[in-house]
Amino acid sequence: MRALRSREISQLVAKRLMQIKNLFESSKDAFLDIVDADNYVQIDRVAIVYRSLIEAIQKPLKMILLYGKPGTGKSMMLGRIYKDLHKKQKIVLYQTPIVDESEFFRSLARDIYNYTLKEDINFTRFNELSKSHDSELVPVVMLDEAQMYSTTLMEKIRLISDTRKIKFIIALHKTEREDIIAKEHFQTRIWEAQQLHNASAGELKIYIQKKLMRASCFDVANMFNDKNIRLIHSLSDGNYRDTNKLLFTLFSIASWYEEHQPTKISYTEFSSKVIEMAAIETGFIDA
C-alpha cells in the first residue's frame, strides 16, 4: 500500500511537471511579436487613449493623430479600433504603408467606394469619385506607420481630409529627433492628438499577468514577483514590444532547462539570473 501510494505521488508530480513544461510553451506563444487585435490588453492608461480615439471618431474632426515611440502599442490600438467598429461603420486600416500614390488612391477608391479600377487613379480623379458619394457616417481611414508616406502624399491626404469626405487617423512614431506635433501640417489640420507611452512597472506587471492568464498560464503568471517585474522593466524600459521579445526568450530558456536540466529551474519564481540570460540573448545586456 505504501509503495502504491509513493508511486501515485510520483506520477502526480511527473504530471504536474509536464503541465508546467507545457505552460512554458504556451507562455512563450503568448508573447509572440505579432499584431493581433484579439490579444489586445487594456491597461488603464491605454484604455483612456482608446476611449478618447473612439470619441474623436464620432466628432466632426478632419484628422486624428496617434503617436508614440516604437513598441508602445500603436498598431495594436488601431487593430482593436478596427475590430470594434468595422461592423458599425465604414472603416479601413492600412497596416502597411502604400507609398505609391496611384496605388494608394486606387486602394481608397476600392475600400471606401467599392470601385474596382485597373487604371491609374490620381488625386484629381479620386476627388471626382469622392464628390459623388455622401454618407451619414464619414468613412474612417487609419494609416499605420504613416512616417513612411512622402511629404507630397501626406499633403494630398490632408487636402482630402479638408473635404470632410474621409476622416483619417494617422499613426506615427515620435522620436527624440523629430517632434511630430511640431510639424506645421499637423498644427493646422489635426484637431485631436493622443500619445501612447511605455508602461510603468506597475502597468507592465498587469500587462504580463493579463497576457499569461488569457493564455490560461495561471501558474506561470504567479511565478513573477515584484522583483522580477522591476528587473524586466529596467531592461525593457516598459516598452511592450521589447517586453514581448524578452519574455518570449525567457520562456524559451525555461523550456530548454525543463527538458535538459530540470533541477536547475525553479517552479515557484523566475530567478534574476534566468531573466538576465534572456536579456543577453535578446541584446538588452551586452555579454
> Residue range 116-141: average pLDDT?
86
CA distance 194 to 236: 23
User: What pLDDT sits at residue 24?
Assistant: 83
Per-residue pLDDT of 158-174, as tens digits, reads 999 989 899 999 998 87
Taking residues 171-178, what's their average pLDDT?
69
**Distance from C-alpha of 208 to C-alpha of 216, rounded to nearest angstrom:** 13
* Per-residue pLDDT tens digits for 35-73: 776 777 888 899 999 999 999 999 888 889 999 999 999
169 strand-pairing partners: 64, 142
Q: What are the tens digits of pLDDT across the range 87-113? A: 999 999 999 999 999 999 999 999 999
pLDDT reported for residue 12: 56
Report pLDDT digits (tens) over 226-256: 999 999 999 999 999 999 999 999 999 998 8
- In sequence order, the 6+-apart residues with CB closer than 8 A to the CB of 169 are 53, 57, 63, 64, 65, 66, 78, 81, 140, 141, 142, 143
> What confidence score (pLDDT) does residue 182 get?
45
CATH no. for 44-196 = 3.40.50.300
Domain ranges of the chain: 22-35+200-282, 44-196
Residue 83: its H or E element: helix 74-85
* pTM as predicted: 0.84
Lowest mean pLDDT among 146-150, 261-265, 280-284: 261-265
pLDDT greater than 80 at residue 8:
no
